[in-house]
Chain A
Amino acid sequence: MATVTLIEPQSAPAQPRLNYLTEKTGLMSWLFTTDHKRIGLLYVFSITFFFFFGGFFALLMRLHLLLPQGWLFGHETYNKLFTMHGIIMVWFFLIPSIPNTLGNFVLPMMIGAKDLAFPKLNLLSWYIFMLGGMTTLYALVRGGVDTGWTFYTPFSTSYSTSFVITAAVGILIAGFSSILTGLNFIATVHRMRAPGLTWFRLPIFIWSTYATSLILVLATPVLAITLAMIGIERIFQVGIFDPALGGDPVLFQHMFWFYSHPAVYIMVLPAMAVVSEIIPTFSRKPIFGYKAVAFSSMAIAILGFLVWGHHMFVAGESAYAAMTFSFLSYMVAIPSAIKVFNWTATMYRGSVQLDTPMLYAIGFVALFTIGGMTGLFLAALGIDVHVTDTYFVIAHFHYIMVGGTVMAFLGGVHYWWPKISGKMYPEFLAKLSALTVFLGFNLTFFPQFILGYMGMPRRYAAYPPEFQVLNVLSTAGASILGVGYVVPLIYLMWAWKYGESAPDNPWRTTGLEWKTPSPPPKHNFEETPVVTWKAYDFEAQKEELHLG
């Protein structure tokens, strides 16, 4: 029988106590803060900006595709639209989305630490991120980039006349921000855990974020050097990747995907982290198969490094390489499926409550499953040759990245919103918009599976008339999805000012982050907690949580 020896901070709700938001005020207190919670919020503002920016481009593309011949933009502008959509969404929203916002905010609290291991580096990483973002936006203002977010050579190094180098420099800079965050998280998890908090008592959120951080520090430097080589080839016109100059364009693809495939797991592992917190909370049960879920995160991080070749089945890879990469890609399905089965088993016979975060989490499991299954189609050599570079691929990875990561991000924002802001959000409106996002998402992207299977190629500004119905459906879905994203932005901001005050532990759950006031004080805990219980041990904390 575990005992709770946490020393509760004296509660004096009558007088508003100082918390991390009120402790210091003024713009400078934010721009020079080293508090992980404030830096998390700085990231929230930044990536929300980039998200709506990138989303705006997506909406413009969908509007353009209402008519088969396109009607809003010229083809070159369309190329720039999908490129900037991809660059902004991948590097300035998805990669930092969950780790740098929610991760920054809750990771130190979950392990009972006062802050991350290197608070100044943490702030530096935000400044580097903003510098990278501004550089990329500068490329956009000057006229944009038309290479696609993948920067394939030799188009990017010899033929494109757009602002490739500026954008590449922006991404390279942002990469260093990723590296610093990953480094900080790894050092923090290794050395900053509260007394008694052993590895197998850690919440799954920590395991998955740790796995993400490993990928961040191992893969991002390779992207940096690859982008640097593109820049060198483009400026000096010396052969690295351009076959006309003696280089090998397939080597570029190898190096690019060595980063960019693991990057997919940088995006989805933190989503899994969030969902692994939400589902036990709203099922009132410990996560089913704790060790299996924890190790599957590590397995995904490791296997994720061995599958990059499946992006190159039609790029002139040898048959043996293709078969190997195909097999290894199937292997990734195993830890992914372990997670899905365990989440489902956690809900089974639990007291499931369908609060807003849970709606998002269930939505995540459903959409991630579809995205993962279609990933298996694409890992199969025969089918991949048929659907390479079609909308099938677009639909598949949007199911993972939007259906997976964005759903989990919104779920996590709602889940920790009471802790972050100290306020509750309007539950009915939140449920309604969760439903809107789910429906809008499926209406946008399900038709794209069919379009892709029928042969509509990606990145085209026009299409044959017989594809119009499905394209119109997709555009309609995108409009609904857009509404689903704007509404939470509005009511969350409203709740920040006018919402009901949140209790310390509104979901009556077990994590350490809920054992501190909402919003937390500057150093999270008045006294360092001593942990004697396992993660998600509702039984042991029954009385404290009033679960009767």
Chain B
Amino acid sequence: MADPIALALREQFHSAEQQRETSTVGMWIFLITEVMLFGGLFTAFSVYRMSHPAAFDQGSADMEFWMGAVNTAVLICSSFCMAMAVHSAEKGKNGRLAFFLILTILIGLVFLGIKFTEYYLHYHDQKLPGIVFHDTSPDAAYVQMFFVFYFLMTGLHAFHMIIGEGILGAMLFRTLLGSFSERYHTPVELAGLYWHFVDTVWVFLFAIFYIPGAHMK
């Protein structure tokens, strides 16, 4: 009786196919705007890195390299679980879908836990620009600038992670309600796209913040 496709088909569309394609186009465009949002920060960071390479390397040496490296691995695992969740949704296996969604959410929480521990350590080391920042090197102003961008960019990323956890929570809720099936699971796919995007951003953040100063420890 309750055909999930008929229920989910919005009145402006003619077919489930059209609705699925349109939603997917919408999600990709949204991700492009996200690329531009992070892109502005990456550009500004790169400009300053080129002007002050030594200070930025010094800032990078203050990173908790291994925590960042572990977090990268953690996010790649979460992306794998998300991919498995989407795959299960396509096969219409709702039990497995719920299992992988829970796993993705938990791994995401592990990431955020490690991230906020790092933030606490920076605070402890007095590397929190604008609140408590202590650096004795001659380049202190630019080391601080490195940390400004570090907190801005990883903070914006963490914000996206938190939103993503909320989206995955909603997907889990709808899975448990039985809203998804082999024929209708577009929201899971789109949540997956978003999650993979956020994970990809982290890979770049790891590369620009953690790696350059890793050898200076």
- Whether B130 and A247, one on each chain, are in contact in the complex, defined by CB atoms closer than 8 angstroms, is no
Chain B CB within 8 A of A179 CB: yes
Answer whether A113 and B142 are a contact pair too, CB < 8 Å, given A186-B29, A187-B26, A255-B43.
no
Interface-facing stretch out of B33-41, B165-173, B186-194: B33-41
- Whether B44 and A240, one on each chain, are in contact in the complex, defined by CB atoms closer than 8 angstroms, is yes
Answer whether A523 and B144 are a contact pair too, CB < 8 Å, given A183-B33, A221-B36.
no
Interface residues of B in 80-118 (CB under 8 A from A): none
Interface residues of B in 1-51 (CB under 8 A from A): 10-12, 14, 18, 21-22, 25-26, 29-30, 32-34, 36-41, 43-44, 47-48, 51
Shortest CB-to-CB span from A508 to chain B, Å, is 29
> How long is the Cα–Cα vector from A481 to B49 in the complex, in angstroms?
50
Cβ of B39: which chain A residues have Cβ within 8 Å of it? 221-222
CB closest chain-B residue, reference A213: B29
Interface residues of A in 215-229 (CB under 8 A from B): 217-222, 224-226, 228-229
Q: Which one of B18, B37, B44 contacts A191 once the chains associate, using CB atoms below 8 Å?
A: B18
- Whether B145 and A221, one on each chain, are in contact in the complex, defined by CB atoms closer than 8 angstroms, is no
What is the interface residue range for chain A against chain B? 35 or more
Shortest CB-to-CB span from B167 to chain A, Å, is 15
Shortest CB-to-CB span from A259 to chain B, Å, is 9
Answer whether A239 and B14 are a contact pair too, CB < 8 Å, given A190-B25, A217-B33, A245-B141.
no
Interface residues of A in 109-147 (CB under 8 A from B): 113-119
Shortest CB-to-CB span from B203 to chain A, Å, is 20
Q: Which one of A187, A225, A235, A248 contacts B25 once the chains associate, using CB atoms below 8 Å?
A: A187
Chain A CB within 8 A of B152 CB: yes
Chain A CB within 8 A of B131 CB: yes
Q: Which one of A117, A218, A237 contacts B26 once the chains associate, using CB atoms below 8 Å?
A: A117
> How long is the Cα–Cα vector from A225 to B11 in the complex, in angstroms?
36
- Whether A246 and B25, one on each chain, are in contact in the complex, defined by CB atoms closer than 8 angstroms, is no
Chain A CB within 8 A of B213 CB: no
Q: Which one of A190, A236, A246 contacts B131 once the chains associate, using CB atoms below 8 Å?
A: A236
> How long is the Cα–Cα vector from A188 to B26 in the complex, in angstroms?
9
Chain A CB within 8 A of B129 CB: yes
Cβ of A117: which chain B residues have Cβ within 8 Å of it? 12, 22, 25-26
Chain B CB within 8 A of A473 CB: no
Cβ of B43: which chain A residues have Cβ within 8 Å of it? 255
Chain A CB within 8 A of B148 CB: yes
- Whether A118 and B130, one on each chain, are in contact in the complex, defined by CB atoms closer than 8 angstroms, is no
1/0 contact trace for A308-326 toward B, CB 8 Å? 0000000000000000000
Cβ of A251: which chain B residues have Cβ within 8 Å of it? 44, 47-48
- Whether B40 and A225, one on each chain, are in contact in the complex, defined by CB atoms closer than 8 angstroms, is yes
CB closest chain-A residue, reference B36: A221
1/0 contact trace for A230-268 toward B, CB 8 Å? 001001111110000111100100010000000000000
- Whether A221 and B34, one on each chain, are in contact in the complex, defined by CB atoms closer than 8 angstroms, is yes
- Whether A222 and B12, one on each chain, are in contact in the complex, defined by CB atoms closer than 8 angstroms, is no
Answer whether A237 and B130 are a contact pair too, CB < 8 Å, given A232-B152, A247-B145, A251-B44.
yes
- Whether A238 and B130, one on each chain, are in contact in the complex, defined by CB atoms closer than 8 angstroms, is yes
Q: Which one of B10, B11, B142, B152 contacts A523 once the chains associate, using CB atoms below 8 Å?
A: B11
- Whether B145 and A192, one on each chain, are in contact in the complex, defined by CB atoms closer than 8 angstroms, is no
> How long is the Cα–Cα vector from A220 to B33 in the complex, in angstroms?
8
- Whether A217 and B29, one on each chain, are in contact in the complex, defined by CB atoms closer than 8 angstroms, is yes
- Whether A187 and B29, one on each chain, are in contact in the complex, defined by CB atoms closer than 8 angstroms, is yes
Cβ of A179: which chain B residues have Cβ within 8 Å of it? 33
> How long is the Cα–Cα vector from A246 to B14 in the complex, in angstroms?
57
> How long is the Cα–Cα vector from A117 to B22 in the complex, in angstroms?
7
> How long is the Cα–Cα vector from A191 to B21 in the complex, in angstroms?
7
> How long is the Cα–Cα vector from A245 to B144 in the complex, in angstroms?
10
Answer whether A183 and B144 are a contact pair too, CB < 8 Å, given A192-B12, A236-B129, A238-B129.
no
- Whether A116 and B14, one on each chain, are in contact in the complex, defined by CB atoms closer than 8 angstroms, is no
CB closest chain-B residue, reference A226: B40
Shortest CB-to-CB span from A231 to chain B, Å, is 11
- Whether A232 and B25, one on each chain, are in contact in the complex, defined by CB atoms closer than 8 angstroms, is no
Chain B CB within 8 A of A69 CB: no
Cβ of A182: which chain B residues have Cβ within 8 Å of it? 29
- Whether B44 and A255, one on each chain, are in contact in the complex, defined by CB atoms closer than 8 angstroms, is yes
Shortest CB-to-CB span from B48 to chain A, Å, is 7
Chain B CB within 8 A of A528 CB: yes
1/0 contact trace for B141-157 toward A, CB 8 Å? 11011001000100000
Cβ of B152: which chain A residues have Cβ within 8 Å of it? 228-229, 232
Q: Which one of B30, B34, B47, B130 contacts A248 once the chains associate, using CB atoms below 8 Å?
A: B47
Q: Which one of B18, B36, B141 contacts A218 once the chains associate, using CB atoms below 8 Å?
A: B36
Answer whether A246 and B145 are a contact pair too, CB < 8 Å, given A191-B25, A238-B129.
yes
1/0 contact trace for A292-311 toward B, CB 8 Å? 00000000000000000000
> How long is the Cα–Cα vector from A217 to B209 in the complex, in angstroms?
28
- Whether A229 and B25, one on each chain, are in contact in the complex, defined by CB atoms closer than 8 angstroms, is no
- Whether A225 and B142, one on each chain, are in contact in the complex, defined by CB atoms closer than 8 angstroms, is no
Cβ of A225: which chain B residues have Cβ within 8 Å of it? 37-38, 40-41
Shortest CB-to-CB span from B92 to chain A, Å, is 25
- Whether A232 and B33, one on each chain, are in contact in the complex, defined by CB atoms closer than 8 angstroms, is no
- Whether B40 and A246, one on each chain, are in contact in the complex, defined by CB atoms closer than 8 angstroms, is no
- Whether A187 and B22, one on each chain, are in contact in the complex, defined by CB atoms closer than 8 angstroms, is yes
CB closest chain-A residue, reference B28: A187
> How long is the Cα–Cα vector from A232 to B153 in the complex, in angstroms?
12
> How long is the Cα–Cα vector from A187 to B36 in the complex, in angstroms?
18
Shortest CB-to-CB span from A282 to chain B, Å, is 32
Shortest CB-to-CB span from A43 to chain B, Å, is 19
Q: Which one of B12, B38, B47, B130 contacts A116 once the chains associate, using CB atoms below 8 Å?
A: B12
Cβ of A114: which chain B residues have Cβ within 8 Å of it? 11-12
Shortest CB-to-CB span from B181 to chain A, Å, is 22
Q: Which one of B22, B30, B38, B145 contacts A239 once the chains associate, using CB atoms below 8 Å?
A: B145
CB closest chain-A residue, reference B18: A191
Closest 9 CB pairs of A and B: A236-B130, A246-B141, A225-B40, A221-B37, A221-B36, A115-B12, A191-B22, A238-B129, A222-B40
> Apart from A188-B22, A247-B145, what 10 extra A-B contacts exist at CB < 8 Å?
A179-B33, A184-B26, A217-B32, A218-B33, A220-B36, A221-B36, A222-B36, A229-B44, A239-B148, A240-B44
Q: Can you offer 28 A-B residue contacts whose CB atoms are under 8 A?
A: A115-B11, A117-B12, A117-B25, A118-B26, A119-B10, A190-B22, A218-B33, A220-B33, A221-B36, A221-B40, A222-B37, A225-B38, A225-B40, A225-B41, A229-B152, A232-B130, A232-B148, A236-B129, A236-B130, A236-B131, A238-B144, A239-B144, A240-B44, A240-B145, A240-B148, A245-B141, A247-B145, A248-B47
